[in-house]
């Protein structure tokens, strides 16, 4: 067996192991939020920073991951990323207060930001196009199993052991992944390394960090209007400065000129608004189940399993649906269906049968999965091959930002309707969460107006391609499904 055959044999296992660890972690934490809040003596809604800090760290780190892989090699970067992720997981489990937890999650997010983009890059550079479909389909399975197991495993661990143990689950998986990297990870370098856009990184990271922090504290009513206005102006100024810098610099961190491609622009911007509505669900649903319905963490996890199961089923038929109806029709209709399904959660109360809640979860996973596959593939329909890497970086960065802002938006609306009422008041917490679901539903349905600007034949280069299924199985959005 040649070295190439050996790499092809083990590389999908390696990337799949790392992806499983990341996806499991992304879903296992949400179920434990109420228990973590009680242990750290903070309110559950204030712990959204634990979730948003991880996502924001991903958004800031992803643009740098491609440059690091080209500069230092895929093996070294991937090994370092898994090591950071594993160590940060241990630090999360040892956290004594909320600030320590946020700091550990930021570090964990940096590891995750380097992990998956480099893993996908290695797969693409190792397998020829006629073998890429099989490799990607294999790698995607753990990404589907992780969200399926995460809520239930997290609930059972919290119920029987301690919330701290959920972070230690990553240790044996991380050690296995490090061993596989050391033995079988190929070491690819960029043919023409480009300089790191340090100024762009500072401007973009600072602007997004300030904006995310502002959204977090705004929901807790701890900032006076004058300070909030100044911070908002500063974040907008930093992001505007980055936009100007990117138009002048030869090697920008994110080349915004790609937004001139119409389908790419509609996909990314429409997807950004859609994810603002969807992004709050992984955080708000456990609160509804555990605080509003008084369910145990493991029961809450079981109620979230249908969503992941439906997402797995839809991944198998999404390419056929897109080929039959086209991107414009699917995205408009499906976005409205997602909004209506989110709105159904506002009807869930203590007297709602469990099978009705599970049915709503099935619909949510079904529509979410189709939406993410559609938006992700449409982004590359008219992008030239030489720009596909940069397009992927931009789309991934905006995706992570929208998830962070979506979590903040859901929490802000909930806190706004809850007001000064203690979060131990079951009736008022449930009512506030119901208002939040309605607001997120309206926001999601409005994004269908963006997709209405598509043409009927947009995306045919994807749906008529034999590689459509491989692209549609992009693992990036699965943590949201």
Read off the pLDDT of residues 174-228 as tens digits, 9 standing for 90 and up. Answer: 898 898 888 888 888 766 777 889 999 889 888 887 887 777 666 555 667 788 7
pTM for this one?
A: 0.74
* Joined tokens for residue 170: 């990553």
Apex CA 367: angle with CA 59 and CA 47, to 5°? Answer: 40
Rg for the chain (alpha carbons), in Å?
A: 21
Cα four-point dihedral sign 377, 379, 381, 385: negative
Residue among 376, 334, 360, 398 at smallest CA distance from 143: 376
Helix (H) or strand (E) holding 9: helix 3-31
Cα four-point dihedral sign 449, 471, 283, 268: negative
DSSP annotation string for 319-383: HHHHHHH-HHHHHHHHHHHHHHHHHHGGG--TTS-HHHHHHHHHHHHHHHHHHHHHHHHHTTSS-
For residues 152 and 298, is the Cβ–Cβ distance under 8 A? yes
What pLDDT is stored for residue 291 in this prediction? Answer: 79
What pLDDT is stored for residue 476 in this prediction? Answer: 39
For residues 115 and 82, is the Cβ–Cβ distance under 8 A? yes
Please state, as a whole number, how many other Cβ atoms lie within 10 Å of the Cβ of residue 134: 12
Taking 70 as the pLDDT cut, the residues of the chain under it are 1-3, 26-27, 30-31, 44-46, 48, 51-52, 55, 59, 128-152, 190-191, 216-223, 315, 385-386, 388-389, 419-425, 462-481
Residue among 277, 296, 276, 273 at smallest CA distance from 286: 296
DSSP annotation string for 452-481: TTS-TTTTHHHHTSTTHHHHHT-SGGGGT-
d(CA 85, CA 65): 14
What pLDDT is stored for residue 46 in this prediction? Answer: 64
* Joined tokens for residue 137: 């389909």
Length of the chain as a residue count: 481
Q: Could you give the angle at which helices 297-325 and 3-31 cross, rounded to 10 degrees?
A: 130
Residue among 134, 140, 33, 152 at smallest CA distance from 369: 140
d(CA 466, CA 242): 38
């Amino acid at each position: 067996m040649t070295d190439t055959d050996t790499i092809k044999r083990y590389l999908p296992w390696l990337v799949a192991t790392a992806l499983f660890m990341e996806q499991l972690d992304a879903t296992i934490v949400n179920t434990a939020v109420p228990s973590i809040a009680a242990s750290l003596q903070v309110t559950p809604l204030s712990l959204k920073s634990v979730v948003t800090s991880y996502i924001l760290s991903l958004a800031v780190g992803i643009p740098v991951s491609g440059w690091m892989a080209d500069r230092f090699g895929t093996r070294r970067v991937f090994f370092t990323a898994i090591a950071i992720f594993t160590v940060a997981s241990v630090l999360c489990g040892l956290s004594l207060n909320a600030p320590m937890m946020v700091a550990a999650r930021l570090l964990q997010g940096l590891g995750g930001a380097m992990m998956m983009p480099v893993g996908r890059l290695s797969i693409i550079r190792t397998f020829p196009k006629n073998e890429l479909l099989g490799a990607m389909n294999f790698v995607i399975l753990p990404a589907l199993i992780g969200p399926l197991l995460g809520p239930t495993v997290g609930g059972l661990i919290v119920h029987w052991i301690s919330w701290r143990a959920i972070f230690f689950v990553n240790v044996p998986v991380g050690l296995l992944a490090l061993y596989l990297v050391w033995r079988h990870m190929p070491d690819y370098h960029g043919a023409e390394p480009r300089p790191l856009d340090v100024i762009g990184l500072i401007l973009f990271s600072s602007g997004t960090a300030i904006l995310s922090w502002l959204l977090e504290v705004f929901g807790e009513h701890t900032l006076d209007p004058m300070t909030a206005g100044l911070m908002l102006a500063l974040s907008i100024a930093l992001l505007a400065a980055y936009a100007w810098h990117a138009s002048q610099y030869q090697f920008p961190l994110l080349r915004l000129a790609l937004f001139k491609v119409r389908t790419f622009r509609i996909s990314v911007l429409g997807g950004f608004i859609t994810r603002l509505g969807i992004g709050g669900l992984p955080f708000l649903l456990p609160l509804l189940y555990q605080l509003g319905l008084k369910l145990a963490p493991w029961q809450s996890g079981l109620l979230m399993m249908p969503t992941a199961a439906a997402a797995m089923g839809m991944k198998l038929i999404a390419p056929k649906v897109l080929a039959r109806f086209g991107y414009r029709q699917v995205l408009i209709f499906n976005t409205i269906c997602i909004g209506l399904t989110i709105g159904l959660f506002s009807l869930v109360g203590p007297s709602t049968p469990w099978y009705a809640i599970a049915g709503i979860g099935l619909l949510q996973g079904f529509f979410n999965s189709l939406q993410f596959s559609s938006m992700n593939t449409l982004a590359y329909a008219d992008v030239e091959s030489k720009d596909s890497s940069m397009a992927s970086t931009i789309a991934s960065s905006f995706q992570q930002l929208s998830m962070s802002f979506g979590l903040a938006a859901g929490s802000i609306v909930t806190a706004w309707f809850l007001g000064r009422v203690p979060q131990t008041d079951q009736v008022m917490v449930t009512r506030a969460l119901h208002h939040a679901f309605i607001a997120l539903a309206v926001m999601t349905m409005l994004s269908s107006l963006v997709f209405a600007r598509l043409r009927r034949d947009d995306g045919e280069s994807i749906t008529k391609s034999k590689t459509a299924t491989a692209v549609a199985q992009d693992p990036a959005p699965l943590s949201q499904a």
